[in-house]
Amino acid sequence: MEKVELLVLNNLLQKEKYTRKVIPFIKEEYFQELKEKVIFQEIFSFVEKYNQIPNKESLLIEIENRTDINEGSYREIVECVSSFEEIESNDEWLVDTTEKWCRDRAIYIALMDAIQIADGKDEKRGRNAIPSILSDALSVSFNSQVGHDYLEDYESRYEYYHRKEDKIPFDLEFFNKITKGGLPNKTLNIALAGTGVGKSLFMCHVAAAALSQSKNVLYITCEMAEEKIAERIDANLLNINIQKIGELPKSMFENKVNSIAKKTQGSLIIKEYPTASAHVGHFRALLNELSIKKSFRPDIIFIDYLNICASSRYRGNGAVNSYSYIKAIAEELRGLAVEANVPIVSATQTTRSGYGSSDVDITDTSESFGLPATADLMFALISTEELEQLGQIMVKQLKNRYNDPTVNKRFVVGIDRAKMRLFDCEQVAQKDMIDNMASSDYDEEEKTTLKDKFGGFKF
């Protein structure tokens, strides 16, 4: 191994192109001997300060000025630096060899750290940190991509324009219309609704639909027990009134669940956390644990719901206002969506003025307007006495980065609360919704525009 370490240090001094490519990924702890660590420290400091590699003389002067090494160590370092000379080698091989060495050293160090933690000798980290430590080590690689060059990378850009994006489709036609086919990866999608309107029902329905499409689904609940969420999904998938699930004989219940299992290649994991105690750090650890223990990687994540999560940035919500706190949670969840390469679906409450309103607006978002600023898709779920009697719920787009939010701005979907299901309505329901809009809410021009938009719906 020492030969590789000396090869790396030698070429860091000789080849500027190589140095600029690999030095951001090399860590001091990868070197085993003191002399090698000191040489790397000085090379790294010189490059960082002067933006060029040092020569031998400059390096030796910098090392001579150090006060933290003894005479014996100094002589060893000088002898080592003096032995460096330019060596002809294939540049691609050199980079590949350096990358493999970095990965091997990272894994070795991670294993040693894991042993220390397992033996209880690490006071700062617990055993829950082991999966992430090993995962980080295994993911070490040289990524040379530093951005998109507009003029040079036009081919990749053209391919992107014509590449079909991976999305998680809905089983509801109008949600597919407003999202152009479903939810893309690396996005945060928020449902806004008052208490009891149907936030959890919506997420349970979409989770059940994703499972039926053979997707791996992770449902994180900070509000209800795991069994309560599973009960709602049972009602949806088994097509049984939620009040009667407990009356099913065990054999019949088992047969129905097995029938669902035969129709899907996906899995659904439900994880409960205490209210206001879990943040993205816990969610990230859960993803690592599921990956290691169950070989489970989610295709979509549901978090029920955002306002009762915690922030990893602000602990305890003690010295921060609600705007900053909720915005921080939203930003952290969106960051997790990007990191895990999945869509995240969550929900938020309306304000007191928005509760019971027949026309919820984006300003009715409770606690923080920073939430809609962060979300990729945000829509309101609106329920009125009239809609309840019709077995419907209104959806109003509030923000949409996937499509024009003024097209299909409002629409209705059917709702079966007993079976925790949503379904597409007949076209007449969309027309009736527009015809019954109160004159006080919309002027004639806006009503005419909305009628034109809804009149074009096809079912």
pLDDT at res. 458:
33
**DSSP H or E segment with residue 98:** helix 91-118
Establish whether domains 2-138 and 167-425 are of one fold: no
Residue ranges of domains in the chain: 2-138, 167-425
pLDDT at res. 433:
56
**Fold (topology level) of 167-425:** Rossmann fold (3.40.50)
What is the SS3 assignment for 377? strand
pLDDT at res. 438:
41
Separation between Cα atoms, residue 95 and residue 102, nearest integer Å? 11
Pick from 458, 418, 428, 457: nearest CA to 205: 418
Output the tens digit of pLDDT for each of the chain's 459 residues. Answer: 468 899 999 999 989 889 988 998 899 999 999 999 999 999 999 998 998 999 999 999 999 999 898 999 999 999 999 998 888 888 889 989 999 999 999 999 999 999 999 888 888 888 878 887 887 887 787 765 667 888 888 888 888 788 777 899 999 999 999 999 999 999 999 999 888 888 999 999 999 999 999 999 999 999 889 999 999 999 999 999 999 998 999 999 999 999 999 999 999 999 999 988 889 989 999 998 899 888 999 999 999 889 889 888 776 655 677 778 888 899 999 999 999 999 999 999 886 555 555 566 666 665 557 788 889 999 999 988 888 898 999 999 999 999 998 888 999 999 999 999 999 987 666 655 554 544 344 455 545 544 444 444 333
What is the SS3 assignment for 64? helix
**Fold (topology level) of 2-138:** DNAb Helicase; Chain A (1.10.860)
pLDDT at res. 194:
84
Length of the chain: 459
- Per-residue burial over 378-411, b if 16 or more Cβ lie within 10 Å, else e, is bbbbbbeeebeebebbbbbbbbbebeebeebbbb
Retrieve residue 182's tokens: 């479903």
pLDDT at res. 217:
96
